[in-house]
Amino acid sequence: MSAVAELVEQTKQFVIDHVIPVEREVVVDGRVTDDALRLDLQKKAKAAGVFGPLSDPRYGGLGLDTRGQARVLEAAGASLLGPLAVNAWAPDDGNIHLLAHVANPEQQERYLAPLAAGDVRSAIALTEPAPGAGADPRMLQTNAQETDNGWIINGAKHFTTGARGAAFIICVAMTTDGPTMFLVDENNPGLRVGRRMPTLDHTSAPGGHCEVDFVDCEVPDSAVLGEVGRGLELAQVRLAPSRLTFCMNWLGLAVRAQQLTIDHITHRSSFGVPIAEHGLAQGLIADNEIDIAAARSLVRSVAETIDLQGPTSAQARHETSIAKTFVSEAVWRILDRAVQLHGGLGVCEDHLVARFLVEARAFRIYEGPSEVLRWSIARRVLRGPR
């Protein structure tokens, strides 16, 4: 057995032993997904040797390439809390990758090391209330003015995932030279984390999705992440890996939902026979298997592209757009069929698939709505012949 295959099996067992029991406490009993829960699960993941599939070994990570991550994160994704337990959940997943490639040595020591080790959480503030940046980051309204001592940031953000309790936030703001990323510590008096927005998905993300204001927020020159004016360009470093990580994680949950459904219809009878013997039920199970196989093949193919050509290559950007669009919609179809095959119990969170479906709905929007991704895919394709 290869090292990655062995790690996959370890991760599966870890999720079964330590994560799924807690998942039921969260979904059914109402336990809050907070940092105490995160740290407890991550402590157990470290003890089990499955922590840090996205991190470098010097930070206690596993040092996997993207192809290895695809297999391990599918295993971790079998539970809503699995990716969080192994430190591969948004936005920390993308921020780990961003800081590893863009931060200078001092910033890596101060911000990346504790983040990759799971000691802290982070957030990235890009999305803004209208008329600010959303799917189109060029609509950026938050601004940063240069001073003799550094920069002063002013602006409003929302849907800032994990902001409440984050040790630092990466803020994207407009300067006279263009969009720029800034590292803002949680104790900065100009950083104000507002309300946690009441979104559909609320089980798996400590800190929620928050409104955040930067009010005369002063940061030194050393807070600039990357280069001034190249913020959106450098942020592309995190985009392809982050989109694919989403696909890996949610694919794992779809696989679990399929197994839960098979178990249910095998043991539940209607009209004198197990539901699994009805042709219409078999058709839905077959469609799920087709979507799972197609999504898995696409994820692993794109992972290879990222490993061989790099996350910012044109091919990687194009293929991750395709993968994120297809997998997000395939996962939704799989979970919807799982709910349907559970019958009335499918809309009861006791059987988990209802919560899986609700949590997964945002996957088709975050990291690029399907409609925007289709538009960008088509533009790249049509650009070729011309």
Pairing of the two strands 191-196 and 209-219: antiparallel
Other Cβ atoms within 10 Å of 329 Cβ, number: 15
Tell whether the model's pLDDT for residue 386 goes beyond 60.
no
Confidence bin at 203 (pLDDT 50/70/90): confident
Q: Say if residue 385's pLDDT is above 80.
A: no
- Tokens representing residue 318 in the block: 């194009």
Paired tokens of 84: 């969080």
Give the SS3 label for residue 176.
coil
Say what the alpha-carbon torsion angle 317, 209, 345, 83 is, to the nearest 10 degrees.
50
Q: What is the identity of the amino acid at 378?
A: A
- Give the span between the Cα atoms of 293 and 358, in whole angstroms: 23
* Model confidence pLDDT, tens digit, residues 220-244: 999 999 999 999 999 989 999 999 9
pLDDT digits (tens, 9 = 90+) for 125-161: 999 999 999 889 889 999 999 999 999 999 999 999 9
CA separation for the pair 358, 27 (Å, rounded)? 11
What fold is seen in the domain 232-383?
Butyryl-CoA Dehydrogenase, subunit A; domain 3 (1.20.140)
* Per-residue pLDDT tens digits for 293-311: 999 999 999 999 999 999 9
The answer, yes or no, to whether the previous bond of 21 is cis (omega within 30 of 0) is: no
Q: Which of 57, 126, 137, 47 is nearest to 94 (CA)?
A: 126
Question: Taking every pair of C-alpha atoms in the chain, what is the biggest distance, in angstroms?
Answer: 80
Phi, psi at 193, each rounded to 5°: -85, 120
Model confidence, pTM: 0.95
* pLDDT tens per residue across span 33-84: 999 999 999 999 999 999 999 999 999 999 999 999 999 999 999 999 999 9
Give the pLDDT confidence of 247-278 residue by residue, as tens digits. Answer: 999 999 999 999 999 999 999 999 999 999 99
Q: What is the pLDDT of residue 132?
A: 94
Under CATH, to which class is 3-116 assigned?
A: mainly alpha
Query: Is residue 285 pLDDT above 90, yes or no?
Result: yes
b vs e for 141-171, b when ≥16 Cβ sit within 10 Å of the residue's Cβ? bbbbeeeeebbbbbbbbbbbbbbbbbbbbbb
Q: Comparing C-alpha atoms, which of 340, 221, 334 is closest to residue 275?
A: 340
Strand segments, DSSP code E, in 199-283 are 209-219, 224-225, 269-270, 273-274
The CATH code belonging to domain 122-229 is 2.40.110.10
Which H or E element spans position 58?
none
CA-only gyration radius of the chain, Å: 21
Mean pLDDT for the chain?
96
**What are 224's two structure tokens?**
């600039």
The predicted pLDDT at position 204 comes to: 77
Domain locations in the chain? 3-116, 122-229, 232-383
Q: Which two tokens stand for residue 40?
A: 């407890």
3-class SS shares of the chain: helix, strand, coil, % to 5: 55, 15, 30
Contact 56, 116 (CB under 8 A): yes
CA dihedral 167, 122, 232, 171 (to 10 degrees): -30
Burial (0-12, 13-18, 19+ Cβ within 10 Å), 108: middle
pLDDT at position 205 is 80
User: Do the first three CATH levels of 122-229 and 232-383 match, i.e. the same topology?
Assistant: no
CA distance 36 to 350: 24
- Taking the C-alpha atoms of residue 163 and residue 143, their distance in angstroms, rounded to an integer, is 19
